[in-house]
Amino acid sequence: MRMTISRVAAGAVATLALATTALPATSATFGRSFPSAASLAGAPVETARHYRFHTVDDSADPTFNQLLGINNSYQIAGYYGSGATGHPNVGYVASKPYHQMNFKVENYPGAVQTQQIGINSMGDTAGFYVDASGNNIGFVRWQGMYMAYSNPKSNGTFNQLLGINDNGIAAGFYTDAKGLNHGYLVNQATNKYEDVAPMLSNVTAAGINNTGEVTGFYTASSGTVTGFLISGRKLYSISYPGAISTTPFGINNVGTVVGAYTDKAGASHGFVLFSPVKHPHFEKIDEPMGVGTTVVNGINDFGDLVGFYTDMNGNVNGFVADTAKR
């Protein structure tokens, strides 16, 4: 069942130069020596641009849907089913206009449960499945073929892949025996694994774009869950202003980061972080029917968003948010 990655948040963008050389745009390799990220002044929060919100659910389960990735062809990766007993996760890929006939079930062969999470421009996906023993195992569905991945450093019981780019590089994490997460990348073509920010603590790599920028989150020395972005030779620490924790989940090819933060009252709100490297500024995102329960999980290159919220009846619903100008 889904490890519900804490959909939480915190407040500033920070920069640290890394002791590495510049990397080619398609490289999956990052420097192995990452100093702790330091915080700079908080990035400003701007009024959100006008989005049109659309609830999008697979009617096979009107009580629980999560939309987790979207590409430029408006294909969406997600799943239905809460993962509770008798209510397994069922992965799907949905296409416009998102009528029921446009939802295609995509489960890992032989799996007990499946979540489709990341999706690239060709419609290839990444996610994880649960086997009969309860193990979480990452997968990539590349050109229609499924391949399973477990980081060799893990014990094989808990691996998840959360994002994938057009070069076939997937981002994810494994959980060790102490319950700590370790972020990594895996290249589906070469089966090569690379650590992500190994000197940070409790790292989850959640999204990767075509230039090799990686986003995710970690636990700071203060105990706060804090976001990060690796871009070129620099590490940026991402915290939403005034929040108690910040969790980025996705990044597009323009470098825009999306995720969720938790405010001091414990409510969850989505965010979009524009131009984090040069001119960082946030926008707060609340699905109108799920204010305080909103999570933004994916973004395409046009700025369209996908995520999920909890409605007044306690149902978890997927949503698509597009900009009014489109």
The predicted-structure confidence for 4-20, as pLDDT tens digits, reads as follows 333 222 222 222 222 22
pLDDT of 302 strictly over 60: yes
The tokens describing 37, both together, are: 């990220």
**Size of the chain, expressed as the number of residues it contains:** 326
Determine the pLDDT at residue 46: 76
Q: Is there a domain that residue 91 lies in?
A: yes
Cβ proximity of 299 and 250 under 8 Å:
yes
Q: Is there a domain that residue 7 lies in?
A: no
Determine the pLDDT at residue 220: 94
Give backbone dihedrals phi and psi of 306, rounded to 5 degrees, phi first.
Answer: -130, 155
H/E/C letters for each residue in 3-68? CCCCCCCCCCEEEEECCCCCCCCCCCCCCCCCCCCCCCCCCCEECCCCEEEEECCCCCCCCEEEEE
Range of the domain at 60: 13-323
The predicted-structure confidence for 271-299, as pLDDT tens digits, reads as follows 999 999 988 999 999 999 999 999 999 99
pLDDT of 3 strictly over 60: no
The predicted-structure confidence for 212-247, as pLDDT tens digits, reads as follows 999 999 999 999 999 999 998 899 999 999 999 999
The tokens describing 59, both together, are: 């009617």
The dihedral through the CA atoms of 126, 295, 90, 152 has a sign that is positive
Largest CA distance in the chain: 52
The predicted-structure confidence for 70-124, as pLDDT tens digits, reads as follows 999 999 999 999 999 999 999 999 999 999 999 999 999 999 999 999 999 999 9
Determine the pLDDT at residue 148: 98
Q: Is there a domain that residue 5 lies in?
A: no
Residue corresponding to tokens 């391949």: 147
Q: Is there a domain that residue 43 lies in?
A: yes
Determine the pLDDT at residue 233: 83
Cβ proximity of 9 and 247 under 8 Å:
yes
CATH of the domain at 216: 2.120.10.30
3-state helix, strand, coil in the chain (%, to 5): 0, 50, 50
The predicted-structure confidence for 140-172, as pLDDT tens digits, reads as follows 999 999 999 999 999 999 999 999 999 999 999
The tokens describing 239, both together, are: 């915290």
Query: What distance in Å separates the CA atoms of residue 223 and residue 57, rounded to the nearest whole number?
Result: 35
Cβ proximity of 213 and 236 under 8 Å:
no
The tokens describing 92, both together, are: 């799907």
Please state, rounded to an integer, the average pLDDT across all residues of the chain: 88
Residue corresponding to tokens 């949503």: 319
Query: What distance in Å separates the CA atoms of residue 197 and residue 29, rounded to the nearest whole number?
Result: 11
Give backbone dihedrals phi and psi of 100, rounded to 5 degrees, phi first.
Answer: -60, -35
Q: b/e string for 129-165 if b means 16 or more Cβ within 10 A? A: bbeeeebbbbbbbbeeebebbbbeebeebbbbbbbbb
What is the per-residue DSSP string for 303-316? --EEEEEE-TTS-E
For the chain, what percent of residues have pLDDT higher than 90? 82
pLDDT of 32 strictly over 50: no
pLDDT of 29 strictly over 60: no
The tally of domains found in the chain comes to 1
Query: Which pLDDT band holds residue 325 (cuts at 50, 70, 90)?
Result: low
Could you tell me which of 264, 199, 253, 203 has the C-alpha nearest to residue 228? 203
Could you tell me which of 101, 83, 84, 82 has the C-alpha nearest to residue 93? 101
Q: Is the pTM of this model over 0.95?
A: no
For the ranges 20-29, 191-200, 238-247, the lowest mean pLDDT is seen at: 20-29
